């Protein structure tokens, strides 16, 4: 009984030592697993990434299992080893995606020669050219696309026009705005016309494209302004008072000659008058959707209609 009692008194101590040993073992295992995971992710002290067909490497720091609390100096050493490996492999460039939560890594990358390519939402993309000579990496998107809709009532020869509330000059123009990402220009034209005027319409053709560089409304970048021809489906005006000062159905002949308009609006008004007189086939760039060869998706091609050839 004494031996049993002694053993019983020892058991809590033994259990504590066993529990402590297990906890230590778990901590050691976790550290080894983390190092093993880092090794698997990084190879021989190198970051992993996807190699593109041009020989560049894209590394997304938010997807490769980096510790969320990695220090700037630790990342710098990891990046240095990666660059040595990529240069030895003859890689052409590195694209480094840095989530905002790891923005300190951007500072470390800058010390190795990386520069900002672009930033979007919650991440920035940095690049480093590893090839010979000057960098041949493409610049980020440098244009914004504005789309306007010329809604023509063919029965009356009138077109829908607005005067912007935020402009210094109250000039007549076609309703329109910036195209959203991934939005076709015809969809933009129809959407913007309805949002500004309350008039519903449908896309018919592309009429003109204006290109302007160093545009003040495009952060000093370039601007593409596209005007589409639309056919009205409704006629009642209910314009947006936050954006528009006035909105009317105006005779095309008057719009083409008035001084209260912009040069491009007057020019397109004359183009539309020509279309009314000769037929819109003489001015329209119609749209055809064609499957893309490489991506498996579709694109929109705008061109003058081809003549119909009848087979004998």
The catalytic site residues sit at: 195
Please name the residues in contact with 202: beta carbons below 8 A apart, sequence gap of 6 or more: 190, 230, 231, 233
**Dihedral of alpha carbons 193, 195, 196, 197, sign:** positive
Structure token pair of residue 59 = 């590394």
141 within 8 A of 172, measured Cβ to Cβ: no
DSSP string, 256-307: HH-SSB-HHHHHHHHHHHHHHHH-GGGT-BEEEEEE-TTTS-EEEEEEPPPP
SS (H, E, C) 45-86: CCCCCEECCCCEEEEECCCCCCCCCCCHHHHHHHHHHHHHHH
DSSP state letter for 21: H
Nearest to 183 by CA among 238, 208, 135, 146: 146
3-state secondary structure of 114: coil
Nearest to 96 by CA among 129, 73, 70, 74: 129
d(CA 38, CA 30): 12
Integer angstrom CA distances of residue 134 from 29, 79, 93, 119, 142: 47, 22, 12, 23, 20
d(CA 254, CA 266): 9
């Amino acid at each position: 009984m004494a031996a049993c009692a002694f053993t019983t008194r020892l058991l809590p101590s033994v259990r504590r030592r066993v529990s402590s040993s297990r906890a230590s073992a778990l901590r050691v295992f976790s550290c080894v697993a983390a190092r093993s995971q880092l090794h698997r992710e990084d190879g021989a002290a190198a970051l992993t990434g996807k190699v593109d067909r041009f020989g560049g490497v894209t590394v997304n720091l938010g997807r490769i299992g980096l510790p969320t609390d990695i220090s700037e100096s630790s990342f710098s050493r990891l990046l240095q080893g990666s660059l040595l490996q990529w240069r030895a492999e003859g890689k052409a460039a590195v694209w480094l995606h840095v989530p905002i939560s790891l923005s300190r890594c951007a500072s470390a990358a800058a010390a190795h020669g990386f520069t900002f390519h672009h930033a979007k939402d919650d991440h920035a993309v940095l690049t480093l050219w590893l090839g010979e000579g000057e960098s041949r990496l493409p610049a980020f998107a440098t244009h914004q696309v504005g789309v306007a809709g010329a809604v023509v009532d063919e029965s009356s020869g009138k077109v829908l026009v607005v005067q912007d509330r935020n402009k210094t000059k109250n000039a007549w123009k076609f309703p329109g705005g910036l195209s959203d990402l991934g939005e076709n220009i015809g969809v933009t034209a129809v959407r913007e016309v309805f949002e500004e005027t309350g008039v519903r319409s449908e896309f018919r053709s592309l009429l003109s494209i204006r290109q302007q560089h160093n545009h003040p409304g495009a952060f000093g970048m370039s601007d593409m302004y596209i005007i589409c021809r639309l056919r009205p489906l409704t006629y009642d005006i209910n314009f947006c008072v936050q954006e528009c000062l006035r909105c009317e159905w105006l005779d095309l002949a008057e719009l083409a000659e008035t001084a209260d308009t912009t040069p491009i609006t007057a020019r397109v008004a004359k183009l539309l008058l020509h279309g009314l007189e000769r037929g819109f086939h003489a001015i329209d760039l119609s749209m055809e959707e064609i499957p893309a060869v490489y991506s498996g998706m579709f694109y929109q091609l705008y061109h003058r209609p081809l003549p119909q050839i009848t087979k004998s």
